[in-house]
Structure formats: structure tokens, C-alpha cells
Amino acid sequence: MASTNFINKCKQGAYCDRLGEVDVYDDAGSQVEETLTQSDKVQQVVVKDGCYDNGNILGTVFCKSIDIDLVNALDTDIINRKMVARVGIDFGQTDEFVLLGKYFASDSNDGQTTNLSTITGFDSLKANLDTPYVSTIDYSGSVTLADLFADVCNQLNLNADSSTFTNSTIPITDNPFTNNETCRFVLQTIGKIACCFVIYDEVNDYVTLKWLSTNSSPDYTFQPSDYSNFDGGKKVYGPINSLVIKNSEVDSASIYRNDDESIAQNGLHQLVISEDYILYDDSLRNQAIDNIWAKVHGLTYVDCELTSYYGKPFLNVGDKIRIYTDANTYYDTYVLTHEFTYDGAFTSVIKAPVISEQEVVNTPPTISEAIRRTELIVNKQEGTITSLVSETEIISGQSQTALNTATAANNLANNTNADLQDYKTTVSTQFQQTSSSFEMQFNSVTDLINQVSDTESEHYDELHKYIRFVNGVIVLGEEGNQLTAELSNTKLSFKQNGTEIAYVSNNKLYITDAEILTNVIIGNFEFVPRNNGSLSFRKVS
């Protein structure tokens, strides 16, 4: 941890007394080059760190990387050598350094037309991360998530931080990873259940499960004089007020935790954990969900992209930061990605992308804009409805009429927009929990259409008779009708009087009873009925 003097010095004098060093070691741990410095060969050092990957924080596995630009190539082969990078400040009588990381060189590019060469390296987590995981656990005894964490770290030739973490005691009765899943995938699975992201701690030399800072006060505060550019504060993530551990095979088995008061006040901000290899039944999901809910409930941060020419090498991924834009206005967010550069000076580029964008709107939308926004949400979340209708032809002509009249209602709303400018409301798509299901109610849109025309409202309600959202499943067909179709994340099911008679899943059609009227073709062969009542089996010409 950097001293207070070091931190304060990083708020001023961008090029004043900054130091940088890189040591290179062989397999035996002996230094093979003299310490590389900025005054010697080091032109620039860029370190990239983070916990945000593909729109996620929970369960991400991020390998820290380094790029070192050197004047002239090194005298020894650098590939697979261990490199230790540090930056510091000269205080006159003493120097103070902070560790930028320990890396293994993976690539070296010697300049062909210049005297510059670039070395790229990654931390120790990277080496075997994408190799298939091979379990060495004896599942005949008592095995927990902590044992799995220790086993996969052992395969990476690294130590596990601890055997005690969120949900570390979740039991595992058999090896769930038998299809060449990588060590990265196993760590991602553990990270989701532990409500953490996974990083390598180079100071303590172990793999650790970490979460965003829970400090009530920020770990570091940026004043306007402390950065050169700030772009953010326009989008908000959270507050998280709903958590789902989802069973994609049986949606009714999904487990929920909701903050109804927050949902009513802020709208639904839901975190979903799905496709989990370990939490495969109700008992395990119930055992895990409250511990995860305790960590994510209420989580909020704003988007951020901040550039500071007084770089902050002491900031860690997950740290909470406060950014003042003037004397009285500030935003709280987290260090989700950090690119630090040393080139004689310190520079930091810190980003906090929002996982799920929520536009901060202070004024209510017009009626036409409100309807348009809700249509966009429905299209984005349930875009498969259109293709499902065309493929299965389950929706009746009456449903199509309802769709057309809903569109007409939208056009009518646009035409009467000038008369309804004083209508002050916001539109939200709400999920209302009933005794047996979650139904998506288009309450605000219905209210708006009622303002336009009672007749149009009746047509819009007609649409809801034919398309319903029950326990995360899209149900198609008129309410009370004996024949319906249900679309979930994993299958398309056909039901008659509530009984499943056929379904499509994993590129296969399953049907309880089938009556073939003419012939059946299987590959290059077919079954064909003959005029005398017998059945022929022949090769298709």
C-alpha cells in the first residue's frame, strides 16, 4: 500500500521525480539483466487491469497485462522470463516504489526500422487458464466449492487465496466439469456463486476472489484539479433490487429475491445468474442466494471514463472512487478497468462502463415517446415472438388483428401528441408477482391508450389474451384454449389441455404420439405404405 506522501505526490508535478524499474529473472529466480530504468532502456510501460468483461463484473476472470517499450533489444531471450515492474517517486533522501505487477513475457517485437522493441507479458494467471480442467478431487467424501477452488488453482500451479469465501461451503456431490471445460470456465463458475471476480494477487502470490469495495467512504477522491478529462455521470447502473438464480430447464424452479419498495421507486434492476453447473436444484439455489443478495442488493454506480495525467498506480480494481466535477457535485463509481502508463510521467485512464444502461431523464417523456420506448423494450427482450409466429403458425388471425390495432393506437397517439403535451408520467415495464407467475403488465402504455381512445384500449388488451409471460416463459394462444405453445430459453413446447404433447430442444423434435399420413424419410431411407396395406422400407433414389 502506498504511503500518504506517495498518494499526495501523485496529485501534482506530473513529470517531477517519477521513477520506473523492470527486473528480469530466469527460471531459477536469478536476475538476468541489470534493472531496466527510464534513464537506461525503458521508454514506456503500459499496464492494463480490470474486472469488467463482456458486460459483466460477476464471475469475470481478468489477466493483468503489460507492454514495455525499450530502446534497443535486450541481450537475452525474454520469452517466458519473469518480469517485475515497479514505479516510484524520488523524495530526495529516499525513494518509494509501488509494485505494478509480476509478469511472464509472452511476446517480443524487435523494431525492424527503429531501435525500439516491445515486450508483452501477462500475470501468472494467464499461463494455463485456457487449458482443459482435469479434476483431482475424490468425490466419495464431502466436497465443497472451496475444494473446487483449491483444485483448479492447483492445476494452474498457483495458490488459492482462502478456503473461506461467500458460499464456499456449497456442497458438490460429483464432478460437474467433464466436457473439456477450461480452467477459466471453472473459475468463472466459482466466481458467480461466490459473487466475486477472479484476479491474481501478485503481492501475495495467489489467486483471489474479490468484490467491489464495500467501504462507505471512497477509497480515493478525485478533485477537478486531479484529472484532465471526465466523461460520465450520464448513465446509472442499479440500484440492484432483484436477484434471480435461474433454472433454464424449469423456469418455475428459479429462485428470486426482490426489494419491492425499490422496484416501485426506481424500476426493475435485475441481476440474473443462469446456466450454472453447480446450483442445479432448489436446495442449492436457496442455500446460495441470500449470501449473494447481501452483496449485490442496492449496488449502484455511474458510468465513468476519467483521464488523469497525475496517474494513480496505487489504485486497485474494485476500489470505490468519488469524482468531483465542481465544488459541490460529485459522482461515486468503481475502478472497473485501469490503464496505467509510465513514460517518465504517470498517466491513468479509469473506466466504469455500465452493465445495463439506464438513461437518467429528469423530465417525463411525451406520450408518443413513452409508447415508442416501451415498444423498443418489448422488441429487444422478446424479439423471438415474430419469428415464432411465422414458424409455428400458432397465433390466430385474431392475434394478428390485435397486433395491427396496437400499431394503429401508436399512430393515433402520435397524431394526438400535440393535445397531450401536459400529460406528465413516465413509462415503465413492470413485473407483477402473482401467486403462480410473473406477468408482464403494460400498465403505463394501457393508461396512455385509454387517454386516446377507449376503443383502442380494448384492442390493446386483446393482444394480452394471446401473448403472456409466465415464470419467464412466453405463452402463445388464447387464454382457456386447449392448444398452446410455450417458449423458454431451452425449448419450444406444445401443450394440449395443459399436457405437453411435443417439444423442440437441442436441434431435436420430441413427440409423445405421432400419426404419419403418408411416408417417413430418415436420411437416405424411407417408410412408404403400399396399396395392399403393408409397409415398405426402401432407399430413396
Q: What is the pLDDT of residues 5-26, one digit of tens each?
A: 999 988 876 667 899 999 988 8
Q: Over 60: is that where the pLDDT of 41 sits?
A: yes
Output phi, psi for 49, to 5 deg: -140, 155
pLDDT digit string, tens, across residues 435-463:
333 344 444 444 544 555 555 556 666 67
CA separation (Å) from 158 to 80, 161, 247, 293, 374? 16, 9, 33, 30, 49
| Choice between 451 and 127, residue whose per-residue pLDDT is larger | 127
The per-residue pLDDT for 312 is 95
Instruction: Cell 425499490: give the residue.
Output: 262
Which of 64-78, 285-299, 370-384, 443-457 ranks highest by mean pLDDT? 285-299
Q: Are strands 492-496 and 483-487 parallel, antiparallel or unpaired?
A: antiparallel
CA 178, 181, 183: angle at the middle one, nearest 5? 120
The per-residue pLDDT for 337 is 96
CA separation (Å) from 486 to 122, 341, 477, 501? 47, 53, 9, 12
Q: Over 90: is that where the pLDDT of 369 sits?
A: no
The per-residue pLDDT for 354 is 82
| Choice between 455 and 166, residue whose per-residue pLDDT is larger | 166
Read off the pLDDT of each residue in 215-244 and give the average, rounded to a whole number.
92
C-alpha cell at position 32:
538476468
Q: Over 70: is that where the pLDDT of 360 sits?
A: no
CA end-to-end distance (rounded Å), the chain: 77
pLDDT digit string, tens, across residues 328-343:
999 999 999 999 999 9
pLDDT band, residue 390 (cuts 50/70/90): very low
- The domains of the chain are located at 367-472
Burial class, 421, CB count within 10 angstroms (exposed 0-12 / middle 13-18 / buried 19+): exposed
Is the whole model's pTM more than 0.85, yes or no?
A: no
The per-residue pLDDT for 316 is 95
C-alpha cell at position 372:
415508442
User: Could you tell me which residues come within 8 angstroms of residue 324 by beta carbon, excluding any fewer than 6 positions away?
Assistant: 221, 222, 223, 224, 330
The per-residue pLDDT for 113 is 44
Count the Cβ atoms, other than its own, within 10 Å of residue 247: 22
Helix (H, G, I), strand (E, B) or coil at 147: helix
Q: Over 60: is that where the pLDDT of 114 sits?
A: no
Q: Which helix (H) or strand (E) holds 483?
A: strand 483-487
Average pLDDT for the chain: 79
pLDDT band, residue 424 (cuts 50/70/90): very low
The per-residue pLDDT for 14 is 63
